[in-house]
Amino acid sequence: MSQPARSETIARTLGALSREGFRLFFPMAAIHAALWPFLWVIVFNFNLPFASSIPPGIWHVHEMIIGTFGAALIGFITTSVPEWTDTKRLRGNSLLALAALWAGARFFGLFGVTALDALGAVCDILWLGALVAYLVSISIRKRTTWLSAFVFWIGALMVTEAVTRYAFLDIATHADLAQRAARLAGFVFLGILGVALARVSVPITNLVLDPSEETSPFRPHPGRINLAPGLVAVLVLAEALGLSDATAGYLFIAAGAAFMDRIAEAFIGRKIIHAEILALVGSSAFAGLGLILIGLAQLGAPISEYAGLHLAFMGGLGLGVLSIFAIAGLRHTGRALGLVRETRFAMLLVVAATLLRVVPEIWPTAFLPSPPYFAVSLVWAAAFLLWLRVYWPFFREEPRQDTPSAEVGSR
């Protein structure tokens, strides 16, 4: 291919990607999800090449939550909010500016260069602040409270990020604060997951029950819609205030039970076997079980708290994010619901990676006395790269129409 033709192809692809948030940020999140754990485990050997002060373990948690899941959040918000509110979607330079801020923070922090940490902090706080401002401006313009939950949770994520970055500036003094804030960011993201699943599961369940979209046979129980994120909010407050382990333990179990309670809504008869439904159920199940394990550990049970954290973050957030990638990737490119074999296998790989990481900590055996970190990183990376391989042709093509093709959430 000649240089002009190659340049034209790149420009056309970039133009297609920057037309809608999910087209740009879902692939970015998938690439980061695959790359970061691989580098962390296999290339960097659980360290960072130039880190002089920040503990690599805290940085690993930060990059997965704010990096991988942060990009997914940008794509979800900039795609769903225009549909929920019937407003013009962000595109072009607006999306590219958000992408530059997110990517800048990842670049500055890739090798752990302490001198560049302040630049990365500015980039991350700016894109989080931009999302909050975007949601608030639309809420005021449309005179709606529909977006209040996302304003609250993304605002909370911005606060935890600001505290984490502040602690990084003097890690020798604030190492405990940095660890607590990075951990809290993960719990805040579970709150976002709870809100997102409540919005996404309703239209998807109705679509599975009635592909013609002429009826809406599924009606969620009103009390379940905000129960899980509401209890996570109480949990986050308790953790931020430093309440006793016993108090926090019971709150972890309550929040986990709320996620488990959401599973009951998935029993819609034989159609529960649809991959889209099972994936959303699996996300709630992992999040709920993880929170319950953390609670039991804080109450004194002989269980590793890290097992619960990875179950909630890898399984709950990981499977939830991949499910939204898969479902929104079809609906917003004008395609019918129905996951192909490779996508279903990618979801199973996320489950496998989570279990490989968690099970040896809960029930070590002679075969798996400890988590096989290399295998976990490879299986996890394979899941997101396989999804990207299937969906990349959809994302880089010109949109089939100029308006959103389908909702990933419901009012």
Specify the pLDDT at position 130: 98
> Could you give all domains of the chain from N- to C-terminal order, each with its CATH number?
11-396 (1.20.210.10)
Low-confidence ranges of the chain (pLDDT < 70): 1-7, 51-52, 112, 398-411
Q: How far apart are CA 183 and CA 357, in angstroms?
A: 18
Q: What is the DSSP annotation of 126-169?
A: HHHHHHHHHHHHHHHHHT--TTHHHHHHHHHHHHHHHHHHHHHH
DSSP character at residue 367: S
Specify the pLDDT at position 111: 72
Residues in the chain: 411
Specify the pLDDT at position 405: 44
Residue 338 zone, left/alpha/beta (φ > 0; ψ -120 to 50; rest): left
Q: CA 71 → CA 27, 74, 255, 296, 323, distances in Å?
A: 9, 5, 25, 32, 15
Specify the pLDDT at position 20: 94
Specify the pLDDT at position 237: 96
Specify the pLDDT at position 380: 97
